[in-house]
A and B are shown apart, each in its own frame.
Chain A
Amino acid sequence: MTSLETFLAAKGIYFLTFLLLFLGLYGMITCGNYMKKLICMNIMQVAVIFIFLCLAQKDGGTIPVLFSNLRNAEDYINPLPHALMLTAIVVSMGTTGVGLALLTRIKEKYGSIEEDEIIERENK
């Protein structure tokens, strides 16, 4: 392993993934539009899934589907985080749907989905 690969395995990939996570958080804080907030929430979810899948990787392992001549545990990538994250992705679609339904109601009630306009109308 070269030094760059060692750096990437120890720190680099984790740093980029955490950067993606905090960029999603930054977007959720700064964007005033509720739809962009929802999209940034989805980005944060993707970053969390990346962290789980980084923990599952294994040197010299193949995908977790059985080959006839491989029986040992070190020949396969860890399939447990895959099974957990597969349901998390499907549930993220459900939360997106509920969030968009709330967005539609907010638009009908207040006539806008910008945060400052809604606060202005409430304080009037």
Chain B
Amino acid sequence: MRKVLAIITLVIILLIPTFLFDGIMPSIGDPNSAPNTHVSDYYIENSVEMTNSPNMVTGILADFRGFDTMFETTVMFLAGLGAVLILSNRPNIKKRFIIPRNYIKQRPNIGAPRYKTINKDVMITLFEPLMMIYAAYVYFHGEISLGGGFQAGAVLGLAYIIDVMIVPGRRKKLFALDKGNALSIGGIGTFIYALTGILTMTGGGLCLEYDKLPFGLSHAESHSAGILMIELGVTICVMATIITILNAIMGRVRFDDDPIKRREDA
């Protein structure tokens, strides 16, 4: 069965260049092709005046198509919730903690670094604040240069992952989030996004119509404020989802580095 499917796949690959590409797909780089003409011209020409963001990708992502991005953020939150719910049963304790004999023999006390010459703690302590400052830079300058909420959230999640790598017990963690707290912070991020839509509706406009924000700002200022608010929600949600999935997978890690034990298992 599997080989028949593989052969069918190969035949499809060989048939594609003869049939599919004769006039169906547009030539690459053609300025007059269908995807490059109708609505994207309108977006490019009016993005700066209407959304006050020189980076057009952020303008489309957060302003023209903000409703789309709201449910993408919800999908991220639901992915974290799904990972926690799938791994929510209690594992068999005897299966999880295998005494790693050789591992202990090489390192008399677990937790001490094996390589004394490289001090991982000091490096990470120096590195973490720089990463968080960079994440703040990416978040605040998302509408001027490259970046935005998704990237800032992912960089913050990477800072947490580096923080987890420190040997436990040496130093207090920069920020510690366990499974439930991380998940609820993801929900708060999604709620901030939805709250922006509700605020514009109380001002008398449609959902995510930033001109009607009830702060008494001008056109340009209100659009910048709205984009910053929803990107704050996206940042918090993405960061919390990364930490949630990391914690859910890390709760099941087995220490079976012992080759003797592995041979008995297999």
Residues of A within 8 A of B (CB): 8-11, 13-15, 18-19, 22, 25-26, 29-30, 54-61, 64-66, 71-74, 76, 78-83, 86-87, 90-91, 93-95, 97-98, 100-102, 104-105, 108
Q: Is the CB of A18 within 8 A of B13?
A: yes
- A108 x B91 contact (CB < 8 A): yes
Q: Is B198 part of the contact surface with A, judged by Cβ < 8 Å? A: no
Residues in A whose Cβ lies below 8 Å from that of B31: 58-61, 74
24-74 of chain B: CB within 8 A of chain A: 25-31, 33, 35-36, 39-41, 43-45, 47-48, 54-57, 60-61, 65, 68-69, 72
Contact status A80-B60, CB under 8 Å? yes
The complex places the Cα of A55 from the Cα of B69 at a distance, in Å, of 21
Given A15-B17, A79-B56, residue A9 in contact with residue B61 (CB < 8 A): no
With a cutoff of 8 Å between Cβ atoms, the chain B residues found around residue A80 in the complex are 35, 39-40, 43, 60
Question: B63-99: which residues lie under 8 A (CB-CB) from chain A?
Answer: 65, 68-69, 72, 75-76, 79-80, 82-83, 86-87, 91-92, 95
Is chain A's binding surface mostly helix, strand, loop or mixed?
Answer: helix
Q: Say whether B245 contacts A101, CB under 8 Å.
A: yes
Known: A22-B12, A25-B9. A97 touches B83 (CB 8 A): yes
Given the interface pairs A64-B44, A80-B60, the reply to whether A15 lies near B55 with Cβ below 8 Å is no
Q: Contacts A9-B29, A22-B9, A87-B69: A58 and B83 contacting too (C-beta < 8 A)?
A: no
Q: Which residues of A contact B148 (CB under 8 A)?
A: 86
A71-B45, A90-B76, A97-B245 in contact; A83/B61 too (CB < 8 A)? yes
Cβ-defined contact, A15 with B16, below 8 A: yes
Task: Give 4 closest A-B pairs by Cβ, nearest first.
Answer: A94-B79, A97-B245, A66-B54, A73-B41
- Taking a contact as CB atoms under 8 Å apart, the answer to whether B29 and A57 are in contact is yes
> What separation, in Å, do the CA atoms of A1 and B95 have in the docked complex?
65
Q: List 13 A-B contacts (CB under 8 A).
A: A15-B17, A18-B20, A22-B9, A25-B9, A26-B6, A64-B57, A73-B41, A76-B44, A86-B148, A91-B75, A94-B79, A98-B86, A101-B86
Q: How many A-B residue pairs have CB under 8 A?
A: 154
Inter-chain contact A58/B29, CB cutoff 8 Å: yes
User: Judging by beta carbons under 8 Å apart, are A91 and B55 in contact?
Assistant: no
Q: Which residues of A contact B17 (CB under 8 A)?
A: 11, 15
B residues in contact with A94, CB < 8 Å: 75-76, 79-80, 241, 245
Bound complex: CA of A85 vs CA of B114, how far in Å?
A: 43
B170 on the interface (CB 8 Å rule)? no
Q: A77: shortest Cβ distance to chain B, in Å?
A: 9
**Taking the nearest CB of chain B, how far is it from the CB of A34, in angstroms?**
14
- A60: chain B residues within 8 A (beta carbon): 31
Please encode chain B, from 228 to 266, with 1 for each CB lying within 8 Å of some chain A CB and 0 for all others. 000000000010011001001100100000000000000
Residue of B with least CB distance to A56: B35
Bound-state CA distance A83–B148 (Å) is 11
Contact: A98 with B83, CB < 8 Å?
A: yes
* Interchain CB contact under 8 A, A86 and B16: no
- What A residues does B249 contact at CB under 8 A? 97, 100-101, 104
> Is B175 an interface residue, CB under 8 A from the partner?
no
In the complex, A13→B28 CA distance in Å?
A: 8
Nearest CB in chain A to that of B92: its residue: A108
Smallest Cβ distance from B44 to chain A, in angstroms?
5
Contacts of B29 in A (CB 8 A): 9, 57-59
Residue of B nearest to A104 (CB): B252
> Is B116 among interface residues, defined by CB-CB distance under 8 A?
no
| CB of B63, distance to nearest CB on chain A (Å) | 10
A63 to B28, CA, bound (A): 16
Please name all residues of chain A whose beta carbon is closer than 8 Å to the beta carbon of B92 when the two chains form the complex.
Answer: 108
